[in-house]
Structure 1
Amino acid sequence: MTHPALTQGRAAVITGAASGIGLAMAEALARLGMKLALADVDAAALEKAAAGVATLAAQPADVIAVPTDVGRLEAVERLKDAAYGAFGEVALLMNNAGIEADGRLFAPRENWQRLIDVNLWGVVNGVQAFAPAMIAQGTPAAIVNTGSKQGITCPPGNTAYNVTKAGVKVVTEALAHELRNTPGCRVTAHLLVPGFTFTGFTRARVTEKPAGAWTPEQVIEFGLEAMGRGEFYILCPDNDVTRAMDERRIQWAADDIIANRPALSRWHPDFKDAFATFMDGTGPAR
């Protein structure tokens, strides 16, 4: 089962396409016979990735590379113009570009600014630049935004990153609501929430794939199947964390508000035992 937008000859736009999950999506769609506009801020890496993807496409001209800083609206609008100029339509937009940085609460302001520009404004810019034209096409289409579990459970540490990914969740939920309430709209929205994945972020810390991590290709295979089923929240497991574990972690985080527990009680010493028994199924959430 596949999403009706993902068919041979149609076009997709993917940001953050030079590596990781974005590149894995590009390769999967090229194998489906789709045309691709690939974007990344690293022009050299993007050209290399596009050349590899082109070998999988029906013909090399079906893949174009558009260096893009997604944090700048004018750059994203140029990406839109390039995609529509080359292919005449866009069936899939994947707002996937993202970065990591020291985003502690009291980290330098420039770290916060760059994280927000890329991870959050990059998604907002993509949605605002592409969605109206995709709606106007009147054809099946989809917008996939890459979120993070850190934007749902918000673990302490990289606060700025958590803020950006929480924002992506909110934006994508609002997008889904807007699309389903637009008469005649045939565009769907999806929030891709990867688990532990061996991408460039992980490679910066370890040289070999950890046993617990999924590959980007596994994330995309799981994501495409979920899109085919019409799922909005595409919550990916990995080799260490099951769906059931994710559900209980998310439930605990939500119940902090309902039970009026201390903020981020999962990491509070007074709630260590209660959280452990909740996770193993022997204790209540509250």
Structure 2
Amino acid sequence: MSAIFKKANTAVITGGASGIGLALAQKCVGYGMKVLVADWDAAGLDAAKGSLGEAATTLRVDVSKTEDWATIKGAVVKDFGGQINLLALNAGVGARTAFDGPEADIANFRKVLDVNFFGVANGITSLLPLIKEKTTAAASSVESAIVITGSKQGITNPPGNPAYNASKAAVKSLAEQLSYDLRTWKGVGVHLLVPGWTWTGLAGAASGKAKPEAPWTPGQVADYLEAKMGEGKFWVLCPDNEVTEEVDRKRMLWSSQDAPTGRPPLSRWREEYKEEFARFMASDV
């Protein structure tokens, strides 16, 4: 595939009013692309519109609602002629959940799954027909990329927030299935963006505190995504200033071996496996 990021191409970005979504929108505008930014944060959308300029339009929508996706689809048809070169399904929330105590609220479980998972599923089922129409038309040269934002928590499943982890694990599974189903589609790529620690509102940036050294900026994540898309990679596993790619690979490998080795789930965090895990991380595996 040739570059998705180029003048006159179009992008639809959910969760684009801040963080990684906004950084990605800024990258698109910098290339001369037309951008539709969808988000629920009205104040954030106003600020994003001001920073992105006339190349961007904004829509306040709830990605968990299919009727709001009908609004997005209508705007794509009206403003972009139905063409989507970049579909970035990035919207997410991080409400705390637990099975016991004050955070054991089923409403929070539903909220997280509705936005993080169904916000992706709704986007694919609503807009994939437009992508198919444009990329498969006779003599078409249109190319499209679908970027889905996952999380390392959906792969290694650390204890502490079951709904968020489950939503991102489901998103990972959905992205894998989509990549397989579209494997024969000419000119369409699928990419799973898995950020490391990134200084966004969910990670503490909204607190007003100074950014620590360890996290990447959203702009660094957007740059890394562009590079991996250029390489045709499905997996976009971002490091940060604290965790290297090697460390990430080892952590994921350890977690994937819990079932085949018969270890209890989440063994990495269990006291009885602390020394074995440390030896594994220090090994040349």
Q: TM-score range by the shorter chain?
A: over 0.9
Task: Name the SS for the 1:93 alignment partner.
Answer: strand
- Mapped contact 1:19–1:49 kept (Cα < 8 A): yes
Aligned equivalents of 1:243, 1:131: Cα separation in 2: 32
Counterparts of residues 58-207 of structure 1 (less than 5 Å): 60=54, 62-88=55-81, 89-106=83-100, 107-138=104-135, 139-182=142-185, 185-201=186-202, 202-204=204-206, 207=209
Q: What's the TM-score, normalizing by structure 1?
A: 0.93
Shift of 1:203: 2.2
Shift of 1:44: 2.3
Aligned equivalents of 1:274, 1:152: Cα separation in 2: 20
Coordinate RMSD, CA, aligned: 1.4
Task: Name the SS for the 2:219 alignment partner.
Answer: helix
- Mapped contact 1:92–1:144 kept (Cα < 8 A): yes
Shift of 1:210: 1.4
Task: Name the SS for the 1:126 alignment partner.
Answer: helix
Aligned equivalents of 2:73, 2:148: Cα separation in 1: 16
Aligned equivalents of 2:52, 2:270: Cα separation in 1: 46
Aligned equivalents of 1:32, 1:238: Cα separation in 2: 25
Aligned equivalents of 1:272, 1:104: Cα separation in 2: 24
- Mapped contact 1:135–1:186 kept (Cα < 8 A): no
Shift of 1:204: 4.5
Shift of 1:218: 0.3
Aligned-pair identity in percent equals 42
Counterpart position of 1:263? 265
Aligned equivalents of 2:2, 2:255: Cα separation in 1: 32
Q: Deviations over 1:56-77 (max 9, x none)?
A: xxxx1x2111111001011012
Q: Where does the alignment leave 5 or more consecutive residues of structure 2 unmatched?
A: 136-141
Task: Name the SS for the 1:9 alignment partner.
Answer: coil
Q: What's the TM-score, normalizing by structure 2?
A: 0.93
Counterparts of residues 37-48 of structure 1 (less than 5 Å): 37-48=36-47
2:219 to 217, 238, 241: 217
Counterpart position of 1:15? 14
Shift of 1:4: 2.9
Amino acid in the other structure paired with 1:174: Q
Task: Name the SS for the 2:117 alignment partner.
Answer: helix
Total equivalences in the alignment: 274
Q: Where does the alignment leave 5 or more consecutive residues of structure 1 unmatched?
A: 55-59
Aligned equivalents of 1:135, 1:95: Cα separation in 2: 17
Counterpart position of 1:234? 236
Matched, 1:50 2:52: no
Describe the shift of the 1:194–1:93 C-alpha distance in structure 2 as closer, same or farther (beyond 3 A).
Answer: same
Aligned equivalents of 1:238, 1:21: Cα separation in 2: 14
- Mapped contact 1:105–1:158 kept (Cα < 8 A): no
Counterpart position of 1:253? 255
Counterpart position of 1:57? none
Aligned equivalents of 1:33, 1:5: Cα separation in 2: 12
Q: Deviations over 1:140-183 (max 9, x none)?
A: 1000000000000000000100000001100111111111134x
